[in-house]
Amino acid sequence: MTITIVGLGLIGGSLALDLKRNGFAHHVIGVDESAEHCTYALRTGMVDDCADLQVACIQADLVILAVPVKAVVAILPKVLNWIREEAVVTDMGSTKGEILSLMANHPNRRRFVAAHPMAGTEHSGPAAALNGLFHDKAAIICDAENSDEDAVRLAERLFRSLFMRIIYMDGTDHDMHAAYVSHVSHISSFVLALTVLEKEKSEANIFNLASGGFASTVRLAKSSPRMWRDVYEQNQENILDVLDSYLGKMQQFRDHIASGEFEQTYQLMETANAIGPILEQQEKVKN
Amino acid sequence: MTITIVGLGLIGGSLALDLKRNGFAHHVIGVDESAEHCTYALRTGMVDDCADLQVACIQADLVILAVPVKAVVAILPKVLNWIREEAVVTDMGSTKGEILSLMANHPNRRRFVAAHPMAGTEHSGPAAALNGLFHDKAAIICDAENSDEDAVRLAERLFRSLFMRIIYMDGTDHDMHAAYVSHVSHISSFVLALTVLEKEKSEANIFNLASGGFASTVRLAKSSPRMWRDVYEQNQENILDVLDSYLGKMQQFRDHIASGEFEQTYQLMETANAIGPILEQQEKVKN
List chain A residues with CB under 8 Å of B257: 232, 236, 239-240, 243
Note the pLDDT of residue B281.
Answer: 77
Q: Mean pLDDT check: name the lowest of A115-119, B75-79, B113-117, B282-286.
A: B282-286
Are A209 and B274 a contacting pair at CB < 8 A? no
| Residue A287 pLDDT > 50 | no
* CB-based contact, A131 to chain B, within 8 Å: no
List chain B residues with CB under 8 Å of A210: 118, 181-182, 278-279, 282
* CB-based contact, B193 to chain A, within 8 Å: yes
Q: Which of A228, A251, A253 is the best mutation test for B, with the most CBs of B within 10 A? A: A253
A274 Cα to chain B: minimum distance (Å): 8
* CB-based contact, B35 to chain A, within 8 Å: no
Q: Mean pLDDT check: name the lowest of A40-49, A276-285, B54-63, B242-251.
A: A276-285
Q: To which H or E segment does residue A139 belong?
A: strand A138-142
Going by pLDDT thresholds of 50, 70 and 90, the confidence category of residue A283 is low
List chain A residues with CB under 8 Å of B233: 260, 262
pLDDT digits (tens, 9 = 90+) for B173-206: 999 999 999 999 999 999 999 999 999 988 888 8
| Residue A286 pLDDT > 60 | no
Note the pLDDT of residue B182.
Answer: 93
Higher-confidence residue of B207 and B43: namely B43
* CB-based contact, B136 to chain A, within 8 Å: no
Note the pLDDT of residue A202.
Answer: 87
* CB-based contact, A272 to chain B, within 8 Å: yes
List chain B residues with CB under 8 Å of A118: 208-211
Note the pLDDT of residue A210.
Answer: 82
A209 Cα to chain B: minimum distance (Å): 6
pTM: 0.90
User: How many other CB atoms sit within 10 Å of the CB of residue A85?
Assistant: 6
Spell out the SS3 assignment of chain B. CEEEEECCCHHHHHHHHHHHHCCCCCEEEEECCCHHHHHHHHHCCCCCEECCHHHHHHHCCEEEECCCHHHHHHHHHHHHHHCCCCCEEEECCCCCHHHHHHHCCCCCHHHEEEEEECCCCCCCCHHHCCCCCCCCCEEEEECHHHCCHHHHHHHHHHHHHCCCEEEEECHHHHHHHHHHHHHHHHHHHHHHHHHHHHHCCCHHHHHHHCCHHHHHHHHHHHCCHHHHHHHHHHCHHHHHHHHHHHHHHHHHHHHHHHCCCHHHHHHHHHHHCCHHHHHHHHHHHHC
Note the pLDDT of residue A213.
Answer: 86
| Residue B28 pLDDT > 60 | yes
pLDDT digits (tens, 9 = 90+) for A22-65: 999 999 999 999 999 999 999 999 999 999 999 999 999 999 99
Partner-chain residue, chosen from A185, A198, A232, that has the shortest CB–CB distance to B245: A198
Query: What whole-number distance in Å separates Cα of residue B59 and Cα of residue B64?
Result: 13
* CB-based contact, B138 to chain A, within 8 Å: yes
Mean pLDDT of A239-261: 98
Q: Which of A130, A189, A275 is the best mutation test for B, with the most CBs of B within 10 A? A: A275
Mean pLDDT of A8-29: 97
| Residue B95 pLDDT > 70 | yes
The per-residue pLDDT of chain B, averaged, comes to 95
Going by pLDDT thresholds of 50, 70 and 90, the confidence category of residue A284 is low
* CB-based contact, B198 to chain A, within 8 Å: yes
| Residue A209 pLDDT > 90 | no
List chain A residues with CB under 8 Å of B73: none
Partner-chain residue, chosen from A177, A187, A203, that has the shortest CB–CB distance to B278: A203
| Residue B240 pLDDT > 60 | yes
Mean pLDDT of B233-256: 98
- pLDDT exceeding 90 applies to what percent of chain A? 90
Going by pLDDT thresholds of 50, 70 and 90, the confidence category of residue A280 is confident
* CB-based contact, B201 to chain A, within 8 Å: no
- pLDDT exceeding 70 applies to what percent of chain B? 98
Higher-confidence residue of B2 and A122: namely B2
* CB-based contact, B188 to chain A, within 8 Å: yes
Note the pLDDT of residue B233.
Answer: 96
Partner-chain residue, chosen from A213, A246, A265, that has the shortest CB–CB distance to B250: A246
Note the pLDDT of residue A208.
Answer: 84
pLDDT digits (tens, 9 = 90+) for A188-203: 999 999 999 999 988 8
Higher-confidence residue of B205 and B236: namely B236
* CB-based contact, B261 to chain A, within 8 Å: no
Are A185 and B197 a contacting pair at CB < 8 A? no
Going by pLDDT thresholds of 50, 70 and 90, the confidence category of residue B228 is very high
pLDDT digits (tens, 9 = 90+) for B112-148: 999 999 998 889 999 999 999 999 999 999 999 999 9
Going by pLDDT thresholds of 50, 70 and 90, the confidence category of residue B150 is very high
Please report the residues numbered 104 through 123 in chain B whose beta carbons come closer than 8 angstroms to any beta carbon of chain A: 118-122
Are B196 and A208 a contacting pair at CB < 8 A? no
Sequence-separated (6 or more) residues with CB below 8 Å from residue A247 = B247, B250, B251, B254
Partner-chain residue, chosen from A221, A229, A250, that has the shortest CB–CB distance to B246: A250
* CB-based contact, B271 to chain A, within 8 Å: yes
Query: What whole-number distance in Å separates Cα of residue A49 and Cα of residue A65?
Result: 16
* CB-based contact, B168 to chain A, within 8 Å: no
A43 forms beta bridges with none
Partner-chain residue, chosen from B198, B217, B278, that has the shortest CB–CB distance to A188: B217
| Residue A11 pLDDT > 70 | yes
Check: CB of residue A247 under 8 Å from CB of residue B217. no
Note the pLDDT of residue B49.
Answer: 97
* CB-based contact, B55 to chain A, within 8 Å: no
